[in-house]
Amino acid sequence: MNKPALVVIDLQEDFLPSDGSLAVAGGRSIVEGIIDLLDVQKFPWAAVIATQDWHPHDHISFASQHSVEPYSQLEFTHPLGEKDETGSVKTLTQTVWPDHCVQNTFGSSIDAAFLTQFNQVDGKVPKAIVQKGYLKDREYYSCFKDTWKLHKTEMEDTLRKLEVTDVIFVGLAYDFCVMNSAVDCSQSGFTTYVIKSLCKSVFPENISQTDDTYRNGGVKILESIDDYSF
Ligand SMILES: [Zn+2]
């Protein structure tokens, strides 16, 4: 039998228009549809999980820490100094962002309307908030692990403990944290879906490339929850 979990990625004020420091265009418009998914009479979730980007104020992914413009590409070195076969320290080129989701600021808070409904979900349905991005020296897009795949969050253990088989992703942003989370989820052996209409992209102009990354990562793209059989 399917044991599906709903995972809501980073529905946080800094990712939401109009005031979020890293607002994703249209981000606010998906909140209501995501709240509707919390009706556990209608949708028999085995678990409901929300994620929260949760950075120290001096996080390495902030452009301000490198004195460059937000959205620049920078080369980062392996946080533990691991070397490749030629003996050079491994590097990754990644985007740097405006300061966002700093721990205990308004920008890091989860949308209030969503959180109210989340807290009211029937206590028989397991719920969790999984944080990521709290280690200062590395970027996290996936809610499972950092971009170097060194540190695991509580996500996989939480899903395994609850014997979840299927994971359905929604949230922000479709082309970063939702995508990397979903691909890691599929690679961890869960049957993985994303509901495209309940996500928004930072770079919507790259949508077909983003869709390909999902498909190549083993993630099924659904237009709506009606396309999923509970
Ligand atoms: Zn972040």
- Evaluate whether residue 63 is within a structural domain: no
Residue spans of the chain under pLDDT 50: none
Using CA atoms, how far apart are residues 81 and 179, in angstroms rounded to an integer?
27
- Evaluate whether residue 68 is within a structural domain: no
Under 8 Å between Cβ of 190 and 167: yes
CA 104 to centroid of ligand 1, rounded, Å: 14
Instruction: Return the percentage of the chain with pLDDT > 70, whole number.
Output: 100
Using CA atoms, how far apart are residues 195 and 166, in angstroms rounded to an integer?
13
| Tens-digit pLDDT profile for residues 127-169 | 999 999 999 999 999 999 999 999 999 999 999 999 999 999 9
Q: How many domains does the chain have?
A: 1
What's the pLDDT at 74? 96
Assess whether the previous peptide bond of 47 is cis (omega < 30° from 0).
no
CA 226 to centroid of ligand 1, rounded, Å: 31
What's the pLDDT at 1? 85
Q: Domain containing 48: what range?
A: 4-57+100-227
What's the pLDDT at 133? 96
Integer-rounded Cα Rg, in Å, for the chain is 17
Neighbour-count burial of 116, counting CB atoms closer than 10 A to its CB (0-12 exposed, 13-18 middle, 19+ buried): exposed
Using CA atoms, how far apart are residues 58 and 135, in angstroms rounded to an integer?
10
Mean pLDDT for the chain overall: 96
CA 85 to centroid of ligand 1, rounded, Å: 30
Residues labelled as active-site residues:
10, 132, 177
- Evaluate whether residue 79 is within a structural domain: no
Using CA atoms, how far apart are residues 217 and 213, in angstroms rounded to an integer?
6
CA 21 to centroid of ligand 1, rounded, Å: 11
Assess whether the previous peptide bond of 88 is cis (omega < 30° from 0).
no
- Evaluate whether residue 189 is within a structural domain: yes
Q: What is the distance of C-alpha 222 from the center of its chain?
A: 17
| Tens-digit pLDDT profile for residues 42-54 | 999 999 999 999 9
Instruction: List the CATH number of the domain containing 52.
Output: 3.40.50.850
Whether the model pTM is above 0.85: yes
CA 97 to centroid of ligand 1, rounded, Å: 8
